[in-house]
Chains A and B, each alone.
Chain A
Amino acid sequence: MTPALKVEGVRAKLGDLEILKGVDLEVPFGEIHALMGPNGSGKSTLCHVLMGKDEYAAEGSAAVGGREVMGLDVDERARAGLFEAFQYPVEIPGVSLDELLAEMGEAAGRDPHEFGDRVERAATRLGMAPFRDRAINSGLSGGEKKRSEMFQLAVARPKAAVLDEVDSGLDIDAVREIAGLVEALRSEELGVLIITHYSRILRYMAPDRVHVMIDGRIVRSGGPEVAEELEAKGYEELRAELGLGPNDDGADPYADLP
């Protein structure tokens, strides 16, 4: 079976800073995988490199539903079936969410009626109706932004989705809600990689596999028990066990903050 997402030997640099040092990962259709790791380990970089953000110098292979996407433009990757839900979705004043959705439908060459129905249904299900006329992410709370990302994901119907910390900064009820939304998306047409710093969200969903990234490498992969192990030990102990030494590579844990 062709997996939804297959990542092989992905490396990425930002200037001289080597961030991803060879990442391999496979998410089959119908599955939800979690990618965990401390701040600064390269999780967001992996998302951006898969999506094709041009500030990184990247190499390796990434296939979405069997189609190689490395080397494609960002929009071509989206149209190939890849979706990135952002850790920090950018505000776009003056452009309403509805305008964006209409452009997404056109860009994807969807039938406007069918696409419109899909938007309506997803908006109702996710309680997004009041946000459709508002500017994209502008003035939205953290939770609302994440919900808007999930809404766009539901409308886009990708083959592979990478969800970057859709749980961070949320209170426990919102985390549970997002977990429910991710589980509701589970289908044979989609593979999900959900990225999280904390194992908290994994209590409300059932990931098929859990991967741990440290210093730009996947250092552990296994069943849900990996998350439990991590919760018990913490990243530092795992680091020590793996002989990686303390996190002293000068990574700024806040570099990622907007």
Chain B
Amino acid sequence: MPSEAEEIWRYVELDLDLADFSLPERNGTPPPELSRLAAALPEVSGKATVSDGAVVAAEGGDVAVRPLLEAVGEAPERVEAVYGSAIPVEHDIFTAAHHAFASDAVVVTVPRGAAVPAPVHVTIAAVADGGISFPHLLVDVEDGAEASVVVEYVSQGDVRALVVPHIEVVSGADANLSLTVVQNWGYATTALAQARVAVGRDSAVRIAEAGLGGSLSRLHLTVDLLGRGSSAEVLGAYFGEEDQTLDYRYFMHHVGLNTHSDMFLKGAVEDEALSVFTGLIRIEESAQRTDAFQTNRNLILSEGAAAQSVPNLEILANDVRCGHGSTVGPLDAEQHYYLMSRGLDGARADRLQVRGFFEEVLARFPVGGVAVPVRGWINDKYVRAQAAGRV
């Protein structure tokens, strides 16, 4: 088991006994209708459902959305070249286990030049109590293609599951992709997710994550800006309640010339929740004329809650513009006074401030339809905390 002594696991105590979990026997059982986003995405250009790691439904159109075996049948060389290539086996025991046990994947292929306005909706569910599962999503965006993918993680509240999802994204040249992850795990689920995005020449990716559920939910994201002129916008909104741990390890890796990145994450914690953001921007010697920014802002809403925010830069090139900002603190007292002076009681003023705090990032979420329910869920979490007198 990784320990807190390792930098990459710092601040988080992994209180897991792998012996408590087993590979579900009936994996592939279609989950009950767990998606909470379907209504927010009335139009999709494809969808897939993964249950305990097995693809139980996949349906595409202009974008191909297929289970792994079918995708291999269609394009064996391509799938073999990219599947499982992005996230190293030896990273930790969870990635190693993923490589050893993942047996299926959703493969989304956006063909050359296709412009697909409606998102592809991939629901990844954990169903079996006590199950460990290894869902896998591969998104292959060919040259000149444009698409958006929405990944929704769900499990029922009482499902004690361990999930190790891997998302791999590969973009060609002149491509445009958005990836939105809505993490809505039930509160008994532990998720240790990896995502890696490779961005080709003159391509732009936008990545957004809403962190809502999970007892412990970790996302280790690496973006490799490989192609000249490639860019990435990375957004995050997370809200930890009660004893949740939300853990983000983000790596922005500039390799190509003239690459741009902007990370902007906002989070709140209440009661005894913990959030961690460690962000590393690494600019290789080859990545001249690069700009890279990262901002992480955190609200501490209760005394027992904590947020770690650690931005880092590693710059090997000299012709670059970089910036980072990080804050951890309570709701702003001057804003609070101003709002109360307009007749809003303290609780109402707090709610408006929390809403405003997140709106700055939610307004930038690439799929507007997703931001709508996320806004509501964050508000619900805060209202629950207010009702329980924890904030």
Contacts and interface: CB of A to CB of B under 8 A. Distances in A.
B342 A78 contact: yes
Given A75-B345, A107-B344, A156-B342, A90 B356 contact: no
Interface residues of A, number: 26
A156 B345 CA distance: 15
Contacts of A108: 343
Contacts of A78: 340-343
A203 B233 CA distance: 53
A74 interface: yes
Contacts of A107: 342-345, 348
A75 B352 contact: no
A129 interface: no
Contact of B356 (A86, A95, A104, A156): A95
Contact of B359 (A75, A83, A94, A156): A94
Contacts of B315: none
Interface string A133-174: 001000000000000000010001000000000000000000
A93 interface: yes
Interface string B342-368: 111110110011011111100100000
B335 interface: yes
B335 A92 contact: yes
A53 interface: yes
Interface in B180-238: none
Contacts, number: 76
Contacts of A51: 337, 341
Contacts of A94: 355-360, 363
Interface in A28-51: 51
Contacts of A83: 341
B212 to A, nearest CB: 18
Contacts of B356: 92-95, 135
Interface in B280-313: none
A159 B62 CA distance: 63
B355 A156 contact: no
Given A92-B353, A99-B352, A84 B341 contact: yes
Size range of the chain B interface in the assembly: 20 to 34
B360 A79 contact: no
Contacts of B363: 94
Interface string B28-56: 00000000000000000000000000000
Contacts of B25: none
Contacts of A77: 341
A94 B361 CA distance: 9
B338 interface: yes
Given A92-B338, A107-B344, A108-B343, 13 more contacts: A73-B346, A75-B340, A77-B341, A79-B343, A84-B341, A89-B338, A93-B356, A94-B356, A99-B355, A103-B339, A103-B344, A104-B343, A107-B342
15 contacts: A53-B337, A73-B346, A75-B340, A75-B341, A75-B346, A75-B349, A78-B341, A78-B342, A93-B356, A94-B356, A99-B355, A100-B342, A103-B339, A103-B348, A107-B342
